[in-house]
């Protein structure tokens, strides 16, 4: 069974990956203060807050803050994560419907609906209020019936009202616009709390028209169980912790923000649509999942699933690509490292062009040789320092499209993008120092 509980159980007795806080914490700043303090010490465990003030529901946060922990969810290691991600994404599985679901053990409708009973965190100092940050929103194209799942931020605006920020270029925005153009309300449902692979699937960087529920099944290697919603015509994961059902009506907008984004800065105040919640369903003893916005938890969650599409696109242009990575130092969006086994001069530039074309968020792309560990910023910086010959190997793309959350973009959502070929020339380059036999040496025999 793939659900949030089973994954947390797998982390028990491993303090590197899960710690419990038994002391009651306030949902405003105190809980996230604990997370930030851990981050400052370079510790990134998932944290289960057993008691949150004014709520009976425990909260787990920081679940995605460690690449090795994400790999554990796939049953692999960080070294093999990208390969496993690609292989499973290429083998999607259709979901299956069930009649009875754990997520509908408790149902609130009408006057029972009260979002303030959920332990929503206020994460950062200037956030406009509490936000739902781990909500997977499902919508359905009114013309084709195709489902789409994505993760958006939702500001608490009342007992039965939350905001929604839909990125201008996202698939969720496309569906929303279709409903609004027709003058019809959009039914939506928001899932909070499930296995990490379900979240990875929600953010998989697949073309419009691909049902993310099938990608989730591919990641899990078994069909995702779905159940019909109670008040809207949609399907949601049966083994989730909490589901919110609701409607977005034409003309319904409210001011939203500021909010601490994955960019590590506050996004501006915007006039966004809002959702009228028609039902809250949950398990009898639910666990609320939070994403620590503006921090590595937020960044790795969003960046990791994007790597498969970037790799596939780069491989079409440069068949000897070894791997790709979007590091937290670039918010897991703006910077991309690519390693290749170089055969011809100019290959690195083809790889750069492919990557920037594949993902509009990338604005700095660095290509290195296959002996450079792209998962280590220091190794990439060393390659830049000792292998980069700037003349002819650095190029600039002005006025390229980006995302509205990029703090460097213009009002037209344009930025300048940079590509850097930091590979060695094929001939006449000094050999890198190496100690023979060190790679296979067992330190336990000496220390």
Q: What is the pLDDT of residues 406-446, one digit of tens each?
A: 899 888 889 999 999 999 999 989 989 999 999 899 999 99
Q: What is the pLDDT of residue 338?
A: 99
Please name the residue that has the structure tokens 């930091």. 422
**Omega cis (within 30) before 258:** yes
User: 154 pLDDT exceeds 90?
Assistant: yes
Bigger pLDDT: 133 or 402?
133
CA–CA separation, 48 and 27 (whole Å): 13
User: 29 pLDDT exceeds 90?
Assistant: yes
Whether the CB-CB separation of 118 and 162 falls below 8 Å is answered with no
The 8 Å CB, 24+ separation contacts for 105-109 are 105/282, 105/283, 105/284, 106/281, 106/282, 106/283, 106/284, 106/286, 107/230, 107/279, 107/280, 107/281, 108/279, 108/280, 108/281, 109/230, 109/231, 109/278, 109/279
User: 129 pLDDT exceeds 90?
Assistant: yes
The length of the chain is 447
Whether the CB-CB separation of 147 and 212 falls below 8 Å is answered with yes
Q: What is the pTM (predicted TM-score) of this model? A: 0.94
User: 169 pLDDT exceeds 90?
Assistant: no
CA–CA separation, 244 and 29 (whole Å): 24
Q: Half-sphere exposure of residue 413, counting CA atoms within 13 Å on the CB side?
A: 10
Q: What is the pLDDT of residue 1?
A: 80
Q: What is the pLDDT of residue 413?
A: 86
Q: What is the pLDDT of residue 33?
A: 98
Q: What mean pLDDT is predicted for residues 233-237?
A: 99
Quote the mean pLDDT of the chain.
96
Give Cα 149 to chain centroid, integer Å. 12
Q: What is the pLDDT of residue 401?
A: 87
User: 403 pLDDT exceeds 90?
Assistant: no
Tokens of 99: 């009649």
User: 13 pLDDT exceeds 90?
Assistant: no
pLDDT digits (tens, 9 = 90+) for 373-390: 999 999 999 999 999 999
Q: What is the pLDDT of residue 170?
A: 87
Q: What is the pLDDT of residue 393?
A: 95
pLDDT digits (tens, 9 = 90+) for 330-375: 999 999 999 999 999 999 999 999 999 999 999 999 999 999 999 9
Q: What mean pLDDT is predicted for residues 237-255?
A: 98
CA–CA separation, 128 and 155 (whole Å): 8
Whether the CB-CB separation of 243 and 236 falls below 8 Å is answered with yes
Q: What is the pLDDT of residue 36?
A: 97
User: What domains can be seen in the chain, in order of their start residue?
Assistant: 306-421 (3.40.1670.10)
Q: What mean pLDDT is predicted for residues 97-107?
A: 98
- CB proximity list for 67: less than 8 A, separation 6 or greater: 78, 81, 300, 304, 375
């Amino acid at each position: 069974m793939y659900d949030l509980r089973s994954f947390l159980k797998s982390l028990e007795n491993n303090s590197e990956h899960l710690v419990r806080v038994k002391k009651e914490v306030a949902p405003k700043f105190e809980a996230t203060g604990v997370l930030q303090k851990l981050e400052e010490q370079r510790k990134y465990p998932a944290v289960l807050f057993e008691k949150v003030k004014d709520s009976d529901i425990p909260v787990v946060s920081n679940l995605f803050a460690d690449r090795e922990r994400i790999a554990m969810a796939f049953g692999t290691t960080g070294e093999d994560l990208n390969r496993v991600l690609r292989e499973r994404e290429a083998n999607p599985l259709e979901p299956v419907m069930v009649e009875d679901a754990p997520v509908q053990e408790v149902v609130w409708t009408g006057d029972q609906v009260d979002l303030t009973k959920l332990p929503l965190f206020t994460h950062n100092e200037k956030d406009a209020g509490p936000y739902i940050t781990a909500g997977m929103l499902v919508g359905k194209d009114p013309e084709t019936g195709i489902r789409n799942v994505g993760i958006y931020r939702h500001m608490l605006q009342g007992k039965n009202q939350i905001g929604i920020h839909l990125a201008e270029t996202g698939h969720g925005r496309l569906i929303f616009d279709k409903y609004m153009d027709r003058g019809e309300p959009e039914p939506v449902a928001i899932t909070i709390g499930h296995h990490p692979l379900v979240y990875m699937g929600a953010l998989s960087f697949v073309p419009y028209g691909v049902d993310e529920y099938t990608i989730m099944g591919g990641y899990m290697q078994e069909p995702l169980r779905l159940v019909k919603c109670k008040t809207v015509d949609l399907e949601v994961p049966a083994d989730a912790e909490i589901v919110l059902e609701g409607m977005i009506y034409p003309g319904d907008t409210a001011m939203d923000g500021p909010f601490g984004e994955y960019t590590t800065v506050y996004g501006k105040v915007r006039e966004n649509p809002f959702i009228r919640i028609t039902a809250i369903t949950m398990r009898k003893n639910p666990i609320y999942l939070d994403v620590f916005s503006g921090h590595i938890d937020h960044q790795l969650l969003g960046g990791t699933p994007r790597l498969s599409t970037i790799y596939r696109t780069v491989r079409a242009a440069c068949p000897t690509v070894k791997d790709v990575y979007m590091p937290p130092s670039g918010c897991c969006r703006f910077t991309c490292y690519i390693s290749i086994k170089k055969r011809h001069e100019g290959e690195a530039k083809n790889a750069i062009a492919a990557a920037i074309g594949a993902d509009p968020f990338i604005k700095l792309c660095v290509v290195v040789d296959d002996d450079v560990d792209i998962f280590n910023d220091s190794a990439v910086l060393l390659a830049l320092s000792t292998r980069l010959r700037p003349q002819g190997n650095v190029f600039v793309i002005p006025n390229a499209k980006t995302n509205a959350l990029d703090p460097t973009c213009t009002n037209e959502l344009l930025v300048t993008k940079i590509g850097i070929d930091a590979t060695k020339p094929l001939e006449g380059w000094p050999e890198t120092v190496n100690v023979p036999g060190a790679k296979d040496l067992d330190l336990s025999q000496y220390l």
